């Protein structure tokens, strides 16, 4: 027993010596390391495509001293975030142990233990990856901050850089935004509302969820009482004080602009030439592809097209199809109410917007604008598989042969499935992959009807290959990044590669104008015929509809606009709601093209393409003196003839009706 006690004594003694050695070495390391520039966190300046600033991070004029910040705000922050802030050296070990115990007991990470210094260190990073390497770096930054700065310096920096929601970083920005006053003039009631926001800006902003913000305020007031900052009487008075929120800043605000900002930050994190932390730079100037007028129009049209009391959501992207530059981006109706970016993160069923990939594959395989299948109720039978019976919208069928152009106009499901099976189920996938669609695509009969899920930004990039006559482009928001000395750290390469036949893309684009062409009114109506009198320019346009999704994607050579509409909980859309997406689309793209000549933005006929007057429904050639005709385009040598067969007649043994 004595030997065991002696062994344990040596083990503990050696352990203590090792710990002391590590602490001393660590302290010397952080003391001898270069002093961190802790006032550079979030020091980013964003420029639009005209070179005008549309977002500023922390600049000298926004940074205020601790003495100019309300004592109530300071005390509220310390009470709720780190009550032992002035007593520890960056880490609150008792709080860490308590948090670990609570989390283990609950089986979930319900309580954190980060100190103000740790949170400040975290804010020095451009990204928030939860990797061990990142955590280890954060630990060392915490020690370096504590070793080189006073507690007041750290607290001042923290309050000037944290996120208070709605794109407002720093307490001075937040005070002016929420209450139209300086941080020095905040009352106890105002201070405790603001100090509760950083924990979760999307939830605790009083402009987003007032009731939740008040609950958070009450908890903070109780903590201030327990920490002897205020009395219970002051607590009750502050809680019951009626607050008047401004919700404005000294410049024009777009509620959707922060979706663009968030997407830029996401892209910023993927660029290897940019330092991982703000401590390696004094600031960044980020030049983006944003067209502020386009963003304003998109937001305006969303507000005007959707009833204010509706819970329906939207995602919209406007893109330069020639290089993939994103001109405008909306990830939801109002960033103040939901910061989830549906444009970049949400995957939704795309409906019939999948069909252009199929019809390009058909053109590439020898089909023409006039190639015909019979529009009729059809059941497809497969060996060792269940029968498949797709239906047209409203069960409407022509019961006659129709051209591919007519199938596009009506968004015929029967024609699409017949084409899909005729070509083979990999043909559509092959084209989608070539233009940049990376989402999972199943080679099943229903694939051209859009049962797969794809993000709107991915669909916009895919359609850009049609809009620019065959080139795959990468969607991007950042053109150039420079440091404070105007040294270029990154320049967009705008790489593009030819993946489609330009002449076939031209033919497809002209077919997609049939969706709003009155010449196609017959047994059915073109899907967007209501726009025929509203559009002043020519566009290729395709809509897509599922029970819970509505899409409109349209373009010319100058701009592409994609709009999705639906509910976050996937509930079904009603008939009236299908018009919202279409209205947003046409108003936004028309506003963008307002002062441009249609001849400059639509496509010139390629030399190997001929134009022929055909019957728009059957696709058969007609003479010039017939009443109903449509000028359609064909690769020279493939022009239609009266004797051309209907494909059903060729493959009738494979299709049972």
Domain identity same for 209 and 114: yes
Q: What is the mean pLDDT of residues 396-421?
A: 96
In angstroms, rounded to a whole number, what is the distance separating the alpha carbons of residues 579 and 577?
A: 5
What pLDDT score does 193 carry? 96
Of how many residues is the chain composed?
657
Is the pLDDT assigned to residue 7 strictly greater than 80?
Answer: no
Predicted confidence band of residue 111 (pLDDT cuts 50, 70, 90): very low
User: Which segments within 455-595 are labelled E, that is strand?
Assistant: 471-473, 478-483, 488-491, 496-498, 540-545, 549-555, 560-566
Query: Facing residues of 584 across strands?
Result: none
Is the pLDDT assigned to residue 178 strictly greater than 90?
Answer: yes
> What total number of domains does the chain contain?
3
132-144: pLDDT as tens digits:
555 666 676 777 7
Task: Classify residue 350: in a domain, yes or no.
Answer: yes
In angstroms, rounded to a whole number, what is the distance separating the alpha carbons of residues 407 and 591?
A: 29
CA dihedral 184, 188, 193, 197 (to 10 degrees): 50
Is the pLDDT assigned to residue 323 strictly greater than 50?
Answer: yes
Domain housing 388: 299-650
267 contacts: CB under 8 Å, gap ≥ 6: 476, 477, 478
Task: Classify residue 591: in a domain, yes or no.
Answer: yes
**Residues identified as active-site:** 81, 352
What pLDDT score does 356 carry? 98
What's 34's DSSP letter? P
Is the pLDDT assigned to residue 185 strictly greater than 80?
Answer: yes
Would you list the DSSP string of 185-203?
G--HHHHHHHHTSTT-HHH
Domain identity same for 28 and 68: no
What pLDDT score does 572 carry? 94
Is the pLDDT assigned to residue 524 strictly greater than 80?
Answer: yes
CB 118 within 8 A of CB 142: yes
Could you give the angle at the alpha carbon of 378 between the alpha carbons of 373 and 384, nearest 5°?
A: 115
CB 297 within 8 A of CB 309: no
* Among 80-84, 406-410, 453-457, 537-541, the least confident range: 80-84
Is the pLDDT assigned to residue 44 strictly greater than 90?
Answer: no
The model's pTM:
0.80
CATH number at residue 168: 1.10.3810.10
344-380: pLDDT as tens digits:
999 999 999 999 999 999 999 999 999 999 999 998 8
Task: Classify residue 201: in a domain, yes or no.
Answer: yes
In angstroms, rounded to a whole number, what is the distance separating the alpha carbons of residues 80 and 123?
A: 18
Q: Across the chain, what does the average pLDDT equal?
A: 86
CATH number at residue 321: 3.40.710.10
What pLDDT score does 289 carry? 97
Radius of gyration of the chain (CA): 31
Among 185, 218, 253, the domain boundary falls at 253
Domain identity same for 484 and 615: yes
Task: Classify residue 97: in a domain, yes or no.
Answer: yes
In angstroms, rounded to a whole number, what is the distance separating the alpha carbons of residues 98 and 1?
A: 34
What pLDDT score does 250 carry? 45
* Among 240-244, 314-318, 404-408, 500-504, the least confident range: 240-244
Task: Classify residue 336: in a domain, yes or no.
Answer: yes
Predicted confidence band of residue 110 (pLDDT cuts 50, 70, 90): very low
Predicted confidence band of residue 492 (pLDDT cuts 50, 70, 90): very high
Domain identity same for 370 and 422: yes
Token digits for 62? 């926004």
CA distances from 54 to 285, 289, 319 (A): 11, 12, 19
What pLDDT score does 248 carry? 59
Domain identity same for 442 and 582: yes
What pLDDT score does 151 carry? 86
Q: What is the mean pLDDT of residues 393-398?
A: 92
**Alpha-carbon dihedral sign for residues 112, 37, 288, 580:** positive
In angstroms, rounded to a whole number, what is the distance separating the alpha carbons of residues 99 and 113?
A: 6
Q: What is the mean pLDDT of residues 627-639?
A: 93
In angstroms, rounded to a whole number, what is the distance separating the alpha carbons of residues 650 and 613?
A: 25
Domain identity same for 134 and 215: yes
């Amino acid at each position: 027993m004595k030997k065991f006690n002696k062994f344990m004594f040596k083990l503990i003694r050696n352990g203590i010596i090792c710990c002391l050695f590590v602490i001393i070495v660590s302290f010397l390391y952080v003391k001898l390391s270069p002093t961190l520039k802790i006032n550079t966190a979030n020091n980013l300046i964003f420029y639009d495509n005209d070179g005008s600033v549309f977002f500023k991070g922390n600049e000298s004029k926004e940074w205020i001293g601790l003495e100019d910040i309300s004592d109530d705000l300071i005390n509220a922050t310390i009470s709720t975030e780190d009550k032992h802030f002035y007593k520890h050296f960056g880490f609150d070990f008792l709080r860490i142990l308590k948090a670990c115990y609570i989390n283990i007991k609950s089986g979930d990470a319900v309580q954190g233990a980060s100190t103000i210094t740790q949170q400040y260190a975290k804010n020095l990073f451009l990204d928030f990856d939860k990797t061990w390497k990142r955590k280890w770096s954060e630990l060392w930054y915490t020690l370096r901050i504590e070793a080189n700065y006073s507690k007041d310096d750290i607290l001042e920096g923290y309050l000037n850089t944290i996120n208070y929601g709605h794109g407002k970083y720093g307490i001075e920005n937040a005070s002016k935004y929420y209450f139209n006053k300086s941080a020095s003039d905040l009352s106890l009631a105002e201070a405790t509302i603001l100090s509760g926001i950083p924990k979760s800006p999307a939830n605790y902003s009083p402009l987003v969820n007032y009731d939740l913000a008040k609950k958070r305020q009450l908890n903070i007031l109780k903590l201030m009482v327990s920490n002897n900052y205020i009395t219970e009487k002051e607590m009750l008075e502050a809680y019951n004080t009626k607050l008047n929120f401004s919700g404005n800043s000294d410049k024009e605000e777009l509620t959707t602009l922060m979706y663009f900002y968030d997407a830029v930050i996401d892209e910023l994190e993927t660029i290897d030439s940019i330092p991982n932390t703000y401590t390696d730079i004094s600031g960044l100037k980020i030049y983006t592809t944003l067209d502020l007028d386009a963003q304003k129009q998109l937001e305006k049209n969303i507000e005007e097209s959707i009833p204010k009391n509706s819970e329906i959501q939207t995602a919209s992207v406007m893109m330069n199809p020639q290089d993939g530059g994103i001109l405008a981006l909306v990830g939801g109706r109002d960033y103040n109410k939901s910061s989830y970016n549906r444009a970049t993160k949400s995957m939704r069923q795309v409906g019939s917007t999948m069909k252009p990939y199929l019809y390009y594959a058909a053109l590439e395989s020898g089909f023409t604008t006039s190639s015909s299948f019979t529009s009729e109720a059809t059941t497809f039978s497969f060996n060792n598989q269940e029968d498949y019976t797709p239906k047209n919208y409203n069960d409407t069928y022509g019961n006659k042969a129709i051209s591919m152009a007519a199938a596009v106009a009506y968004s015929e499901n029967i024609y699409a499935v017949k084409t899909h099976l005729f070509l083979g189920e990999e043909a559509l996938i092959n084209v989608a992959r070539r233009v940049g669609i990376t989402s999972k695509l199943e080679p099943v009969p229903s694939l051209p009807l859009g049962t797969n899920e794809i993000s709107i930004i991915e669909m916009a990039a895919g359609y850009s290959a049609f809009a620019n006559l065959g080139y795959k482009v990468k969607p991007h928001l950042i053109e150039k990044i420079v440091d404070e000395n105007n040294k270029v750290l990154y320049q967009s390469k705008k790489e593009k590669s030819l993946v489609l036949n330009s002449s076939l893309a031209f033919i497809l684009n002209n077919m997609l104008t049939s969706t709003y062409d009155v010449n196609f009114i017959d047994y059915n109506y073109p899907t967007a015929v209501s726009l025929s009198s509203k559009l002043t320019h020519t566009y290729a346009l395709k809509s897509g509809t599922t029970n819970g999704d509505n899409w409109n994607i349209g373009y010319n050579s100058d701009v592409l606009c994609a709009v999705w509409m639906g509910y976050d909980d996937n509930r079904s859309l009603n008939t009236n709601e299908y018009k919202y997406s279409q209205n947003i689309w046409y108003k936004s793209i028309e506003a963008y093209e307002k002062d441009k000549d249609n001849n400059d933005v639509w496509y010139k006929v390629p030399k190997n393409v001929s134009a022929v007057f055909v019957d728009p429904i059957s696709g058969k050639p007609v003479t010039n003196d017939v009443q109903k005709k449509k000028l359609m385009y064909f690769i020279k040598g493939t022009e239609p003839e009266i004797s051309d067969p209907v494909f059903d007649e060729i493959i009738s043994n494979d299709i049972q009706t």
